[in-house]
Amino acid sequence: MGWQQQIQAALQTRRAADAWRQRPVIEQNDGRWLQVAGERYLHFSGNDYLGLSQHPALIRAWQQGAAQSGAGAGASGHVSGHSRYHAELEQQLADWLGYSRALLFISGFAANQALIHLLAGKGDRILADKLSHASLLDAASHVPATLRRFTHNQPASLAARLATPCAGNTLVVTEGIFSMDGDSAPLAALAQQTRAADGWLLVDDAHGIGVIGEQGRGSCWQQQVKPELLVVTFGKAFGVSGAAVLCDEETADYLVQFARHLIYSTAMPPAQACALQAALREIQQADAQRQKLQQLIQRFRQGAAALPWSLLPSASAIQPLLVGDNGRALALAQRLRTAGFWLTAIRPPTVPPGTARLRITLTARHEEQDIDRLLEALSDAASE
Ligand SMILES: *Cc1c(COP(=O)(O)O)cnc(C)c1O
């Protein structure tokens, strides 16, 4: 089959499966409200859990950073793109999270790819939670190491995988809070088993960092686990974009020497590193917002218990309503959109077949009345 026929066939399959993906053009977004095609919607689908993307201190820091150091980094960090703002931010992140080193990446996707491509060689193995993010599983399936997935959040399943002998190194991979289910990994049990097998643990805490744990230090801090490799991303609670890998001194040196995603890619703009420093300061002081978010989560879960769709066991800001069928999930999202709510139906292949869902996310920008209005609209949709 030529490219053209292949493309046409793939698109047709997508459409027929109610799995067509689109990118709506957002006219305005203040964290609580979205405007699309002239209409305003209550926004329940972002990852900006503390509303920091709209915070004046971050915007000011970005502006001042740009005024001092320009719009872009101008080169890879290995050439001339690593500014004092980058260096300061790395040190602040390492101190905050209790690691020797932090290395900045332009995205969480790049950070995960870099780690896995660099570490997982021939004869090694990667044991990853089945629901790990695409950036982890994609990389893991493209490296010479073997990839085995273990049952979601089941340390016993990991133990069974670890029991198989392996001559090479073992990298165990999980998320802190899972992006599509919102539940937390049992990090202490995973870490203990990994250590007993002389492996390394990689925790991607994209959805935990900033949102939980003392000072917002995330899932690992909350569960008192220090993985060999911690990935934190800045596109969610930090309200900006970018990521960092936290690790020991030698691993950081190794990444700087050999990680192609770092070496052959332009550093994030210095102004962005400046904005991220401001985000970190806000996050460290955001106990009140984190508390408010927890109250909103409780309120939503209590109300949603009465709905006909099952609520996944999530204590996080990610509250998926399991619908099952793609078409029905789409129809429900559409029904809510008509009622003034912006939420997305998440469908396979992002989630396993038969588990299409509304991925509802809450933020500290919401008010109690927003939650109540959403619950009412869901209840109306259920009784139709
Ligand atoms: C969003 C996300 C990423 C990707 O991070 P970006 O900085 O957006 O590229 C990686 N891992 C998880 C679990 C995520 O949710």
Atom 6 of ligand 1, nearest CA residue: 108
CA distance 340 to 37: 13
At residue 9, the pLDDT reads 96
Which entry of 179, 184, 314, 316 is annotated as an active-site residue?
Answer: 179
At residue 349, the pLDDT reads 84
Tell me how far the alpha carbon of residue 101 lies from the centroid of ligand 1, in angstroms: 20
DSSP assignment of 115-155 equals HHHHH--TT-EEEEETT--HHHHHHHHHSSSEEEEE-TT-H
Q: 179 an active-site residue?
A: yes
Q: 117 an active-site residue?
A: no
At residue 18, the pLDDT reads 75
Tell me how far the alpha carbon of residue 376 lies from the centroid of ligand 1, in angstroms: 31
Q: 142 an active-site residue?
A: no
Tens digit of pLDDT for each residue in 49-72? 999 999 999 999 999 999 999 999
Which entry of 55, 207, 261, 366 is annotated as an active-site residue?
Answer: 207
Measured CA to CA in angstroms, residue 312 lies from 61, 205, 283 at distances of 38, 19, 27
SS3 56: helix
| Beta strands per DSSP E along the chain | 28-29, 33-36, 39-43, 101-105, 125-129, 146-150, 170-175, 200-204, 229-233, 243-247, 310-311, 318-324, 341-342, 344-346, 356-361
With beta carbons less than 8 A apart as the criterion, state whether 116 and 260 touch: no
Q: 47 an active-site residue?
A: yes
Measured in whole angstroms, the distance separating CA 29 from the mean position of its chain's CA atoms is 20
Q: Please give all residues whose beta carbon lies within 6 A of any atom in ligand 1, as ranges.
A: 107-109, 112, 133, 135, 175, 179, 204, 206-207, 233, 235, 241, 243
Tell me how far the alpha carbon of residue 160 lies from the centroid of ligand 1, in angstroms: 28
- Domains, the chain, ranges and CATH? 25-50+287-383 (3.90.1150.10), 56-284 (3.40.640.10)
Tens digit of pLDDT for each residue in 274-313? 999 999 999 999 999 999 999 999 999 999 999 999 999 9
Q: Residue 349, preceding bond cis, omega within 30 degrees?
A: yes
Mutate which of 133, 177, 202, 276 for ligand 1? The one with the most ligand atoms within 8 Å of its CB, which is 133
CA distance 303 to 308: 12
Residue type, 152: H
Q: Find, among 213, 262, 206, 212, the residue nearest to 236 by Cα.
A: 206
CA distance 239 to 48: 5
Tens digit of pLDDT for each residue in 188-234? 999 999 999 999 999 999 999 999 999 999 999 999 999 999 999 99
At residue 300, the pLDDT reads 98
Q: Find, among 381, 329, 334, 335, the residue nearest to 358 by Cα.
A: 329
Which entry of 236, 261, 292, 366 is annotated as an active-site residue?
Answer: 236
Q: 236 an active-site residue?
A: yes
- CB contact set of 353 (below 8 Å; sequence gap of 6+): none
Q: 384 an active-site residue?
A: no
Tens digit of pLDDT for each residue in 6-53? 999 999 999 898 778 889 999 999 999 999 999 999 999 999 999 999
Q: Find, among 268, 267, 246, the residue nearest to 77 by Cα.
A: 267
pTM: 0.96
CA angle 12, 18, 23 (to 5 degrees): 90
Q: Give the position, in ligand 1's atom list, of the atom nearest the Cα of 236.
A: 1
CA distance 63 to 44: 28
Categorize the per-residue pLDDT at 85 as very low, low, confident or very high, splitting at 50, 70 and 90.
very high
Which entry of 43, 47, 124, 153 is annotated as an active-site residue?
Answer: 47
Which entry of 175, 205, 228, 370 is annotated as an active-site residue?
Answer: 175
At residue 62, the pLDDT reads 98
Q: Give the position, in ligand 1's atom list, of the atom nearest the Cα of 133.
A: 13
With beta carbons less than 8 A apart as the criterion, state whether 227 and 203 touch: yes
Tell me how far the alpha carbon of residue 109 lies from the centroid of ligand 1, in angstroms: 6
Mutate which of 219, 233, 361 for ligand 1? The one with the most ligand atoms within 8 Å of its CB, which is 233
Residue type, 280: L
